[in-house]
Amino acid sequence: MAIKPTDFYDQLASHGVEFFAGVPDSLLKEFCLCIDDRISKEKHIIAANEGNAVALASGHYLAQNSLPLVYMQNSGLGNAVNPLLSLCDPDVYSIPLLVMIGWRGEPGGVKDEPQHVTQGRVQIELLEALGLPYEIISKDDNQFAEKISNVVEIAKNEKRPVALLIKKGTFEKYNTETQESDGQRMKREEALEIILENLHENAVIVSTTGKTSREIFEIREQKGQTHEQDFLTVGSMGHCSSIALGIALSKPHREVVCIDGDGAMLMHLGSLTSIASMQPKNFRHILMNNEVHESVGGQETAAKKLDLSAIVEAVGSSKVFKAETPNDLKTNITDFITCSGPSFLEVKIKPGSREDLGRPTIKPVDNKENFMKFLNK
């Protein structure tokens, strides 16, 4: 019997937890939707990355002396390691906080995508290496309240971070109303079809994690095309533009196109400064901006309230183009591709994808080998 998100929240609230920050995760989706309903915007912050969330929570503790909660997928734990060890650790500032982690790639027969397998397998060892006391919670757990109490007591008494490791399927569905998106905008798959049709046949593509890479794979399959020119970044959220930049600098005579997402781009926004510094003429950066973390529940990103094209323009890295309709995209993509780079194209899209959207059937290592051969043609 899955746990009601409201029951879980009530247990946290009974211990005085009132501030939440994190990066959304599919395993924690229902709980995050519950927080959205229960907590004001000032006390629930969807952070750019997990390290930011730890720092935000630490600031709350310093100001209020109350225990905050940081949530994340275990793949994001790497972003949080530095502030957990150099800020919150008992040997530094000794800041107590709850770290709620979605356990992707859990070993023992729980099927998951390849980018989560190693992370899931070493999860317990990572927590122990970080010195984080933890409790594991699953859908059949009738002692979750006691487990929350256990880690809260340790956090408060020893003034240190503690963890709640959440297994797949722990939370039952939380009903919430979904807002209708702008009908004028395209869905991502439609925009990707236009983009792929207009790129040079030898263009090198690096696509971000999530549904973008899945849709590119399926578009190629439907058209009977190979996948050799596409590096499908199935993990490493926020890093595809840096991967693409590394390729562009090493292959200056090849057209390199990064297809990014708003949540991913915001996660490591500093990568824009490297593009601005190096100014590679063969670098093309496309932002598919639906203003939400779609793959993990549809929570809003900060892009909802930001002009990301203006940020790129201010950094001075690229010539900037925009598109919001199919006609906009078809009109602007030629200039975006043919101008002397680096160039940046923001495509405003609406959330949503096909229910039958599949996943790449090629192993990541095979994708890499084929891609490297294509680069050396």
Q: Give the pLDDT confidence score for residue 178 in this predicted structure.
A: 53
- pTM for this structure? 0.91
Residue 304, domain extent: 186-375
Q: Give the pLDDT confidence score for residue 108 in this predicted structure.
A: 87
Q: Are residues 154 and 210 in the same domain?
A: no
179: in domain: no
User: What's the whole-number average pLDDT of the chain?
Assistant: 94
pLDDT (tens digit per residue) in 228-242: 999 999 889 999 999
pLDDT (tens digit per residue) in 9-25: 999 999 999 999 999 99
Q: Are residues 73 and 120 in the same domain?
A: yes
CATH number of the CATH domain containing 229? 3.40.50.970
177: in domain: no
Q: Give the pLDDT confidence score for residue 154 in this predicted structure.
A: 98
**CA-based nearest residue to 329, from 223, 186, 208, 182:** 186
Domain end position, chosen among 131, 166, 201: 166
Examine the pLDDT at 139 and tell me if it is beyond 80: yes
Examine the pLDDT at 204 and tell me if it is beyond 60: yes
Q: Give the pLDDT confidence score for residue 308 in this predicted structure.
A: 94
Domain end position, chosen among 102, 137, 166: 166
Q: Are residues 100 and 211 in the same domain?
A: no
180: in domain: no
pLDDT (tens digit per residue) in 213-266: 999 999 999 999 999 999 999 889 999 999 999 999 999 999 999 999 999 999
